[in-house]
């Protein structure tokens, strides 16, 4: 099931945004040159919010200890972070961003699953 997450205009290129949806962990939306990625926002190392970190190309840097994660796969790319964070399938339709609920996507499949949905439910 896809759920409305935010308007894409709310996340400018090169920026991140924290979003909370009922029944899901805090999420971070990352806009990498117009391509959107959604991850669990809590760093797997220091429990800080990645939404407060910097987006450096395809990596988001944790504000606590500067560990980094690939926003496409969730994999840790810089220590002290070692474990990945969950990634979620997301789709853009008509300027709106939708996210899969509730299960995160296996990080090995995250990039392959970026596609247009057959149908997206209306905003709530």
The 3-class SS string of 1-67 reads CEEEEEEHHHCCCCCEEEECCCCCCCEEEEEECCEEEEEECECCCCCCEHHHCEEECCEEECCCCCC
Q: Name the residue range of residue 79's domain.
A: 2-100
Q: Mean of the pLDDT values across residues 10-19? A: 95
Q: What is the CATH number of the domain that holds 84?
A: 2.102.10.10
The reply to whether 108 falls in a domain is no
Give the residues across from 60 on adjacent strands: 55, 69
pLDDT tens, 49-86? 999 999 999 999 999 999 999 999 999 999 998 999 99
Q: Is residue 122 part of a domain?
A: no
Q: Is residue 40 part of a domain?
A: yes
Calculate the alpha carbon distances from 98 to 7, 28, 62 in Å. Answer: 9, 13, 24
Average pLDDT over residues 100-106: 67
Residue 76 lies in a domain: yes
Number of domains in the chain: 1
Q: Is residue 111 part of a domain?
A: no
19 found inside a domain? yes
Would the pLDDT of 44 be above 50? yes
Q: Residue 1 — pLDDT band, cuts 50, 70, 90? A: confident
């Amino acid at each position: 099931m896809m759920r409305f997450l935010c308007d894409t205009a709310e996340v400018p290129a090169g920026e991140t945004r924290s979003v909370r949806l009922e029944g899901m962990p805090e999420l971070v939306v990352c806009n990498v040159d117009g391509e959107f990625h959604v991850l669990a926002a809590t760093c797997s190392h220091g429990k800080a919010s990645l939404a407060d970190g910097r987006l450096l190309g395809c990596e988001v840097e944790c504000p606590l200890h500067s560990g980094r994660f690939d926003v496409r796969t969730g994999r840790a790319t810089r220590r002290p972070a070692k474990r990945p964070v969950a990634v979620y399938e997301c789709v853009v339709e008509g300027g709106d961003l939708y996210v899969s609920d509730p299960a995160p996507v296996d990080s090995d499949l995250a990039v392959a699953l970026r596609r247009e949905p057959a149908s997206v439910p209306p905003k709530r």
